[in-house]
Amino acid sequence: MTTRLVGCGTALLTPFGGDGAVDEAALRRFVEWQVTEGIDFVVPCGTTGEAVTLTPAEHRRVVEITVEQVAGRVPVVAGAGSNDTRRAIAQSHDMRGAGATHLLHVTPMYNKPPQRGLAAHFRAIAAEAGLPIILYNVPGRTGVNLDAATTLELAAVPGIVGIKEASGDLAQITEILRGRPADFAVLSGDDALALAVVAAGGDGVISVTSNATPKRMTALVRAARAGDLPAARAEHFALTPWMRAAFVESNPLPAKAALHLMGFMGPAHRLPLVPLAERHRPAVQAALVAAGALTDRG
């Protein structure tokens, strides 16, 4: 299996039961559906998977279940990030032991290191992790941006094979695409920008909306990568209402509400996250109907 990721990967939701525990049976069904729908890779225990409220044992178990259910059919990119470099390295070792094929490492949140600190953090992880690493830049959540120059510096580091770019800054993403090594993957971290990023030469997306629409989001990316922009635009326009609805409140609240409507999992979150506000449910349901993910119930 190649270490370079391309295509559409789902940032998997983590289902919880009514007792608050991870719903392992629901997770297995959900992962199986994602793979059979044609997703290119899966990403457990990221932001969308509510990893920050999982215990270390639960985090490992979610990745183990995902690996078992995938059974080698697609790569498994396990979230392993931390704002403590030592903890991030330890988590990387644990995810390797759980069977992950790649690691997703977010920029350190809250402590706001300078660019040289970010570079040192990721270099230290790459030297110890033992698996290929996807950087994750999401300044809206972490409070720090990984500049294009720093990303390109890290792209030359052995073991760092790509970036999930969720800055929302197309100029920054384009600068990375212009200067990257040929074997360094650039993946959009924003569903609404996936078409633009791939059209500019990017490799795909790590998607929230593909939790509910894996086949269509994968079709969008594949068409764009093949240069079939009319087909890619058609999928983008069909999915646009769902792309908007998936962020009417903080991710993953709308996505989990969507998968509950679709019958894949319960609506439970762990505090401080709470279920989607009732006033947003009609918009989510209508968007899923428009995307073909849900039958109009009248």
Element of type H or E holding 260:
helix 253-261
The C-alpha atoms of residue 298 and residue 293 are separated, in whole angstroms, by: 15
Choose among 131, 76, 84: nearest CA to 106: 84
Q: Which residues are catalytically annotated?
A: 136, 164
Half-sphere exposure of 1 (CA within 13 A, CB side): 17
**Position 258 in a domain:** no
**Position 250 in a domain:** no
pLDDT tens string, the chain, 298 residues long: the values are: 446 799 999 999 999 998 899 999 999 999 999 999 999 999 999 999 999 999 999 999 999 999 999 999 999 999 999 999 999 999 999 999 999 999 999 999 999 999 999 999 999 999 999 999 999 999 999 999 999 999 999 999 999 999 999 999 999 999 999 999 999 999 999 999 999 999 999 999 999 999 999 999 999 999 999 999 999 999 999 999 999 999 999 999 999 999 999 999 999 999 999 999 999 999 999 999 999 999 864 3
Domain limits for position 30: 7-228
**Position 23 in a domain:** yes
How many domains in the chain? 1
pTM: 0.96
**Position 284 in a domain:** no
CATH number at residue 101: 3.20.20.70
- The CA distances from residue 5 to 40, 60, 74, 160, 161, in Å, are 9, 22, 10, 12, 8
**Position 247 in a domain:** no
**Position 164 in a domain:** yes
The C-alpha atoms of residue 172 and residue 2 are separated, in whole angstroms, by: 27
**Position 94 in a domain:** yes
Element of type H or E holding 249:
none
* Residue 3, pLDDT score: 67
The C-alpha atoms of residue 246 and residue 10 are separated, in whole angstroms, by: 14
**Position 294 in a domain:** no
Q: Is 24 exposed, middle or buried (0-12, 13-18, 19+ CB in 10 A)?
A: middle
Enumerate residues 6+ apart whose C-beta is below 8 A from 280.
245, 248, 249, 254, 257
* Residue 188, pLDDT score: 98
